[in-house]
Amino acid sequence: MRMPGIAKIGLLSAGIYGAGLLPAQSYPHAYPREGVKKLFDNDRITIWEVNWIKNVPQPFHRHLYDMAGVYLRYGHVNITTLDGKVTPGFHFEPPLPYFQLRGRTHKEEAVGGPNDPEQLAIMVDLKEPEPSGSVASSQMPPAFPRGGAKDVLDNARVRMWDYTWVPEKPLAMHIHDRDSVEMIVTGGTLRVKTPDGKEEIRTVAMKDARFVPRGRVDSEEAVGSSPRAITIELK
């Protein structure tokens, strides 16, 4: 079940953040910057852990790529557009799936007192300008959709799923027919099996993120806990 309005939030927030005019002057890409850590990089994507650190000045930047991700913690952030207008960022309840078109230019600065939370997100730059397709299989089902998974965002570039593994309910063997990024919302432990009989116990924590290449075949089962993830399938 899709969360109402989420697929449009990247476009709607352009009005909140202000896209700004794009002058001839060049600006640095949004990442890296202070508070941002690169988690993974290949020819197709870059995964970033983005922390908005309170009361730290930030430069104007331009988002050079379409971007998808999930906000994991809310914090007070002020958005400044090129014309100098300052607007508070939108309020949300985490986890919040997110998509934004490339080209936005602004700066984002966290504000607040010592006891106020700092905003946190996992963001994925989509470095390819167009979708790249999927790997079809007639031998086994795709990783998504699956029972219990919520379709929380769907557009021309990505489809995002919110899923919580249930202990003692292993998933059937499946193929990841699209490149995807799995972002952990709630930690836990998974037993992962592959068709060659190998088994791996994988412990995950909130804000972990990993790239899953299309064509991978596996099965997963929660072990004594209920991990939750939001997964971006790339189109």
Predicted confidence (pLDDT) per residue in 9-38, tens digit: 443 333 333 344 444 468 999 999 999 999
Do 21 and 97 lie in one domain? The reply is yes
Do 117 and 224 lie in one domain? The reply is no
CA separation for the pair 203, 8 (Å, rounded): 33
Do 100 and 19 lie in one domain? The reply is yes
Q: Is residue 141 part of a domain?
A: no
Q: Is residue 135 part of a domain?
A: no
Q: Is residue 80 part of a domain?
A: yes
User: Band of the pLDDT at 178, cuts 50, 70, 90?
Assistant: very high
How many structural domains compose the chain?
2
Token digits for 127? 């470095």
pLDDT per residue as tens digits for the range 70-84:
999 999 999 999 999
102 CB-near residues (< 8 Å, 6+ apart): 63, 64, 65, 66, 67
| Mean per-residue pLDDT, 81-99 | 96
Q: Is residue 134 part of a domain?
A: no
Nearest in space to 207 (alpha carbons), one of 229, 226, 183: 183
| Mean per-residue pLDDT, 142-154 | 97
pLDDT score of 22 = 42
> Which of 126, 142, 175 marks a domain boundary?
126
Averaged confidence pLDDT in the chain: 90
pLDDT score of 143 = 96
Give the SS3 label for residue 97: strand
Do 99 and 10 lie in one domain? The reply is yes
Q: Is residue 138 part of a domain?
A: no
pLDDT per residue as tens digits for the range 108-130:
999 999 999 999 999 999 999 88
Q: Which domain holds residue 162?
A: 150-234
pTM for the model stands at 0.88
Do 19 and 121 lie in one domain? The reply is yes
CA separation for the pair 60, 28 (Å, rounded): 8
CB 211 within 8 A of CB 153: no
User: Band of the pLDDT at 133, cuts 50, 70, 90?
Assistant: confident
CA separation for the pair 118, 52 (Å, rounded): 6
Domain containing residue 167: CATH number: 2.60.120.10
CA distances from 145 to 12, 120, 162, 172 (A): 27, 27, 10, 12
Nearest in space to 107 (alpha carbons), one of 80, 67, 125: 80
pLDDT score of 25 = 63
pLDDT score of 9 = 44
CA separation for the pair 127, 66 (Å, rounded): 7
pLDDT score of 95 = 98
- 35-49, 51-65, 126-140, 151-165, range with the lowest pLDDT: 126-140
Do 21 and 113 lie in one domain? The reply is yes
